Each structure stands twice: as structure tokens, then as C-alpha cells.
Chains A and B, each alone.
Chain A
Amino acid sequence: MRQLRIPAMLVVVGLVASACGQSGPSGAPTELPAAEGELNLVIWTGYAENGTNYPEFDWVTPFQDETGCQVHTTDMTDSANGVELLQSGQYDGGAFSGDATLRLMAGGDAAPVNTDLIPNYANVFDNLKGQPFNSVDGVPYGVPQGWGANILAYNTDTFSSAPDNWDPIWDPNSPAAGHISVYNSSIFIADAAMRLKTTNDNEFGIDNPYQLSEEQFNAAVDLLTEQGAIVSQYWNYATDQITGFGSGDLLAGQTWQYQVNNLPDAPIAAVTPSDYATGWSDTWMIASEAAHPGCMYRWMDWALSPEANAQSTIYFGEAPVSQEACDFAETWQDGAYAGHCDTFHATDTAYHDFLEFWETPREDCNDDDDSTTCKSVEEWINAWTTITGS
């Protein structure tokens, strides 16, 4: 939530910004500013590892050593939280999913990016450039980090074979009932919408699960309220699920590959079911009032470099954004992660198109039809309080 600033401060900031000059016509710098020695990022847990978790996963220390930019990070719990953090004005940028990026671009909190200052941008897969969630009228507002699906995790003792649909978390008679974990964010309403779309012949006529009419939205909320009876955990942090799956408290859930990667000894496996899957595509964006733009640009270039992108996507469990990163992953750590790109379908456009990527629910339904109205993101968030708080 961006606070109302005292006008004087705005004037000062404006003067300083114009004094720094060198703004291109779209607001991005034309020359790479000097490194300022500090960088404050909003991230999903795991996007900026400095070796304290696992010594071999460290792409922050080399960056700090080379640029002198000390990296400080804050983890967001979900996209709305990420938006709020960036709007607080305390950060230079961060990695945001598609449902956050649109809001930041619309609200002027993120600045356009001059990709000429980011040499590694040239290597990025074409289907990730110039997307609606990371550009406006062809002007890029960020650089991709990676993308992935919300997958189904299940206990292999409870489910003898891999489920091929999402029944395990929706069916009241599921073997996992009472031991289910789903993501604690209003964006999960879209998963309910997809469930409705793929069952009962889509009786509510749902098309885009993020732009829902009143009737479709209420149906999704009803489904979630029903599901609440068999859900035992709404997870905020990956460790919530890691602890739960590891102790046997949880038998099924909607999860990220990151959690599964951290449960090597537990009888847990994960799969992308064939009926539907929601997903997320993350973009590094720079705050329009970033205090350290020089460091932020250097970070964005570094994040796109093969070493950093390979390591971060292996660690997090998502698809990398360039062929060079894929190649790096093949041989890194003596080939321990070979096949990384295939595992995450990095070049599989069919899989990419199958996923329903997170996007922001908008009152105008994000379409050209003026007569349609949909539920806004605020209504989604309020409904989530009702679903989880009752």
C-alpha cells in the first residue's frame, strides 16, 4: 500500500530525479548508473541464495564480490504482499509473478527497463519477452527469472500410483481428506475456478479463471468453503509444507517443486495433473523510485546470466529462461542436474501454454467488452478471509 506522502518529499524526490538526468523517453536510464553499494530486493524465498542454506547454491556472494552491492532481501508471502512491500518505497526491485507485475505497472511503482543496459537479455527465450504481464506497448518492464506450475504433491504410501487429476485435494472422499494443504493466498480461487471448469461440463462457463463474473466467483468460493472441511493447512511458507509432509501430517497438497526438492527422504512425490494446472511466471522489476538503480540493473543482468539463472532455477525448481542457462545446468556440479530443462519443460511450448499463469483479477475483466464486469483483486482478498477465517 503506497502511503500518501507529504508533498514536500515528492517535490524533493522529483528534483533529485531530474537532477540525475539521463532519463530516456520512457523513464528508464540511458546509461548504466554507478553501483551504489547496496541493493534491497523483494523476493520469493529462494531467489537470492548466499550459501547459508546449502553451500553450493550461492549466486549472491559472487555478485556482491564483483559489484560491491550488498544484497538485502525480504521474502514475500504472496503477490499482494509483494506489491505492498515494493510500494513501501524501501526496496529497489524484486521478482514478481504475473498477478503482481500488472498492478505494479499500472500503479507506476515499477519502472520501464532499458534492456540495452542488460546484455544477457538477448539470450532470453522469445516466448518470454514482450508478454502482457511484463511489458506495456512493447516497452519491457522487467526481465524474466523463471516460470513453473503449482503442482500436486502426494504421499506415495497413501496414493499407490501418481494421480492424474486434482481429485486428491477436492474430493470429500479423498484418501487424504483432513490432511490436505493448499496455498494460503486468494489467488488459489483461480484453482477452484479451474476445478469447476474441468468438472461437471463447466456448468458456469468459466473461461479465464482469473476474470470471474459474480456467479462464477460465488461458485468458486462455495467450492472452497466446502473444501475447507478437508484442508488441514493453508500454507504460507514452504517450510510449513516441508514440516507437514515430512512428519506425515499432510498426505496431499498443492505445492511448488521447491518443497518437494527439500523432502528427499520422505515418501512424497509430485506431478502436474492432466486436467489443469495454474502456474506463475516471475519477472525481475525495478522500482520507479529505486534508491540504487545501478545495483539493480547489475543484478538483473546477473540474474539472467547462465550461472545465476541455472542455479536459481535448479534451487527453486522452475524453468530457466535461456538456452545458455539450460546448457550450464547440464554440466554444473558434474552433471548432477543434467536434464534440468527437460524436467521443467523449459522449451516445451505446449506445456507452457497448458498452464494458467497467475494474473491480476480486474474489474474490467481485462477484455475489450465494456459490458462485462468481473471481481477485483480486492474482492478476491476479502473472500479469502471469509474462506479461511470462518
Chain B
Amino acid sequence: MTITAAHSPSRTRRLSAWLYGRPRSQVVILLALPLGFFLLVYIGSLVVLFLNAFLETDPFSGDVIPVFSLDAFVTLFTEDVYRTIALRTIGMALLVTVTCAILGFPVAYYIARIASPRTKRILVIAVLMPLWASYLVKIYTWRTMLGGNGFVDWLLAPIGLESPGLDSLVSGWFVLVYLWLPYMILPIQAGLERIPGSLLEASADLGGKAGITFRRVVVPLVLPAIAAGSIFTFSLTLGDYIAPAFISNTKFIGNVIYDNSTLGNLPLAAAYSMLPVLIMVIYLLIARRLGAFESL
């Protein structure tokens, strides 16, 4: 180390020196931009939206009038259809999540613990690539597949069945599972990979057969990953409006919000939006408890 003549430190050095010993200032500087952006832009927009839920609309011109009103909420609570739609959507979201977990787990397990490294890389690419295929094109293709004289009709004809058609929730279920399956496979695969082989060996050494090891060692360790994947499958189904309209000819929560906002009744759309937001915040808190955030 050479002894250099005294010189005034560079600006970054002075800043670093000032920051040293002031961890709180460091945190503030780091978080200023991201939190600023999120609180102002994202949360701020949500607040503006929810404020609109408490306003009135002129029934003829459709303008928002700055008058406090609970009309939107009254409509939502007195008309049964909004309850029906909410239950239908939540039910489908749960069904899709469970189906994705059941279909995705074997694939994730195979990729994570059984496939050779070369096969594994191919399989991971194979699971990732459909994420780049357009969501809209997938839905539209399923529509032609499920429609009259489409692929599904052709496939099922030899066994005497027909496609469920484009007016059925069964079709919607298929398509939603199809769309979100990769989002479930990837976190589970990552979670299974993180389980050290030594734990499983130890379990076997202690006399645990494969079934018991699976139940008592693997499942608890992979549960956070399943919870993480379920955040996506659940929330994406909860908010979707394109698949229900195109495939099932029905209305989900997303459709009510979308329809009312594009038809000029923002207060009703805003009021109804509070429901999925509330559901997801609760879901996220539960998932966080289960350790999902570390497994995303």
C-alpha cells in the first residue's frame, strides 16, 4: 500500500462516508424510488378508483357527479346476480387451482427429482415456452377447438362424445386450467429442487418408507411452493373476463367490472372491484403465512 498525499475525497466517497453508520438513511434512499412509484402510481390509482365507488352517475349522460352516494353498493347488495357471479367466480378459481395442483405436481416432481439433467433442461424449456404464446391466441384457438366441427368434436367422435361446447362452464374450466398450469408447475418444481437429498435419505435411514417420507417430509416442505403457485392460478381466474365471455358465455367478477367500466358506470365497477381486491389481500396474507413469498 502506497502512502498517497492527502487529497479531498471524491463525491461518491463523501456520500458513502456520510451514509456509513446511518443505515436508516441508506434504507430511505434505496426505497425512495420504488416505494414512491408504488405508493403514488399504483396505490394512488387504486384510491382514485375506490373513491369513484362512492360517487353518483347521471343516469342519462353517464357523467360522474361529485356527489356522495352509496347507490353502487345498494345495487350490488340488492340484486342477487352479483352474489351469484361472485360465488361462481370464487368456486371456479378454487376448482382451477386444485386441478392445476393435481395436474402440475407429477410433472414438477418428475422434472425436479427424476429426470436426468439434460432431460430436465429440455422439460423446463418445454414448460416455459407456452408462456410466450399469446394468451389471446390460446383462448381463441380453444374456442375453435371446442366449437362445432372443431378439434374436440373430432377427437371425441370415435367414443361417441361431443365437445362441451361454448356455452358451458366445463369448457371454461378446461381452458382456465390450460392457461395457468405453467404458473403452478414452475414454483412447485423449484420448491421440490430445494429439498436436499440428505433429508430424504435421513428419513429412509430412520425407517420411513416412500409413502411416509412423501407425506411427512416432502409435502410439508413443498407446501409453500404450492401456495405460491396457487396465488397465480387463483388470482388469474378470479379476475379473468376474456375466457368466461369467449368460452363459457357466462359472467365472472371480471366481466361485471369490465362491462360496467366500458359502458360508463365506473362507480359500480369500482365498488365491485373491492371484492376481488379484498379476497386477494386476505389470500396473500394467508399465503405469506404458509411461506409462499419465499417460493415465488
**Within 8 Å by CB, do A and B touch in the complex?**
yes
Binding site for B on A (CB under 8 A): 1-4, 77-78, 80-81, 83-84, 87, 103-104, 106-107, 109, 232-234, 236, 243-244, 247-249, 360, 362-363, 376-379, 381-382, 385-386, 388-390
User: Contact check: which of B58, B85, B166, B268 meets A389 at CB < 8 Å?
Assistant: B85
User: Contact check: which of B147, B166, B245, B251 meets A236 at CB < 8 Å?
Assistant: B245
* Bound complex: CA A243 to CA B145 (Å): 12
User: Contact check: which of B63, B250, B265 meets A381 at CB < 8 Å?
Assistant: B265
Within 8 A of A (CB), among B51-89: 57-64, 66, 75, 79-82, 84-85
CB <8 Å contact, A249 and B148: yes
Q: Give the segment of B195-203, B255-263, B282-290 that binds chain A.
A: B255-263
4 more A-B residue pairs beyond the given contacts A103-B61, A388-B251, with a C-beta to C-beta distance below 8 A: A80-B264, A81-B264, A248-B149, A249-B165
CB <8 Å contact, B262 and A244: no
A372 to chain B, nearest CB (A): 16
Within 8 A of A (CB), among B227-278: 245, 249-251, 255-256, 259-266, 268
* Bound complex: CA A234 to CA B232 (Å): 29
- Knowing A381-B265, A382-B75, the reply to whether A389 touches B250 (Cβ < 8 A) is yes
Closest 6 CB pairs of A and B: A107-B61, A389-B251, A376-B59, A247-B148, A249-B148, A80-B263
- Knowing A80-B264, A83-B264, the reply to whether A386 touches B81 (Cβ < 8 A) is yes
* Bound complex: CA A244 to CA B148 (Å): 8
B197 to chain A, nearest CB (A): 52
* Bound complex: CA A104 to CA B63 (Å): 10
Q: List the A side residues contacting B79 at CB < 8 Å.
A: 382, 385-386
* Bound complex: CA A360 to CA B260 (Å): 17
Q: Is B99 an interface residue (CB 8 A)?
A: no
CB <8 Å contact, A381 and B148: no
List 5 A-B residue pairs with CB atoms under 8 Å apart, sorted by A's residue number. A87-B62, A376-B59, A376-B60, A386-B79, A389-B84
Number of A-B pairs, beta carbon distance below 8 Å: 113
User: Contact check: which of A103, A248, A360 meets B148 at CB < 8 Å?
Assistant: A248
CB <8 Å contact, B60 and A363: yes
- Knowing A389-B81, A390-B84, the reply to whether A232 touches B61 (Cβ < 8 A) is no
B85 to chain A, nearest CB (A): 5
CB <8 Å contact, A1 and B249: no
* Bound complex: CA A247 to CA B150 (Å): 8
A159 to chain B, nearest CB (A): 17
Mask of B159-175 contacts with A, CB within 8 angstroms, 1/0: 00000011100000000
Q: List the B side residues contacting A376 at CB < 8 Å.
A: 59-60
User: Contact check: which of A1, A77, A248, A360 meets B63 at CB < 8 Å?
Assistant: A1
Q: Which interface residue of A248, A362, A378, A389 has the most chain B CB atoms within 10 A?
A: A389
B147 to chain A, nearest CB (A): 5
Q: List the B side residues contacting A360 at CB < 8 Å.
A: 60
* Bound complex: CA A362 to CA B62 (Å): 12
User: Contact check: which of A83, A249, A363, A390 meets B62 at CB < 8 Å?
Assistant: A83
CB <8 Å contact, A378 and B265: yes
- Knowing A232-B165, A378-B265, A388-B251, the reply to whether A107 touches B66 (Cβ < 8 A) is no
Q: List the B side residues contacting A233 at CB < 8 Å.
A: 166-167, 249
A102 to chain B, nearest CB (A): 8
- Knowing A77-B262, A389-B250, the reply to whether A243 touches B143 (Cβ < 8 A) is yes
CB <8 Å contact, B147 and A107: no
Q: Is B144 an interface residue (CB 8 A)?
A: yes
- Knowing A363-B59, A378-B57, the reply to whether A1 touches B150 (Cβ < 8 A) is no
* Bound complex: CA A362 to CA B60 (Å): 7
Q: List the B side residues contacting A107 at CB < 8 Å.
A: 58, 60-63
Q: List the A side residues contacting B81 at CB < 8 Å.
A: 385-386, 389-390
Chain B residue nearest to A364 (CB atoms) is B60
CB <8 Å contact, B263 and A81: yes
Q: List the B side residues contacting A87 at CB < 8 Å.
A: 62-63, 264
- Knowing A243-B144, A390-B84, the reply to whether A249 touches B166 (Cβ < 8 A) is yes
